[in-house]
Amino acid sequence: MSVPYGNVRVTHIWGEEDAKTKEVAEKCAIPNIVKNHTDMLGHVDGVICVRRHGGKHLEDALPFLQAKIPAYVDKPLACSVADARAMIAAAQASGVGFSS
């Protein structure tokens, strides 16, 4: 059972550092730790991408945007204009919410 945040429940988490990801999952009562961020596809109805390196955000967000899953991407949105445009285009093509 995940801890609800208003009408939102955080049910899945992925991170680059296994120990830190497990710590956050335990602290926040997030029941599912996945090995790859795309393992969440089909299990979530929105994502928050918070990797510290903006150059990774396209890789993180694009599969979800293409699957019509809304995404919030932490700052910086991207490290290139091309990556930013690709995320915006994917969100527009899918008709889903997208913010940073």
For 75-91, what is each residue's pLDDT tens digit? 999 999 999 999 999 99
pLDDT at res. 4: 58
The CB density around residue 18, as the number of other CB atoms within 10 Å, is 10
Tokens read off for 79:
């490290």
Rounded average pLDDT over 61-69: 97
Provide φ and ψ at 73, rounded to 5°.
-115, 120
Question: In the prediction, which pLDDT does 7 show?
Answer: 81
What pLDDT does residue 52 have? Answer: 82
What does pTM read for this prediction? 0.88
Q: Which structure tokens are listed for 91?
A: 């969100």
Per-residue pLDDT reduced to its tens digit, 12-57: 999 999 999 999 999 999 999 999 999 999 999 999 999 888 999 9
The DSSP code for 74 is: P
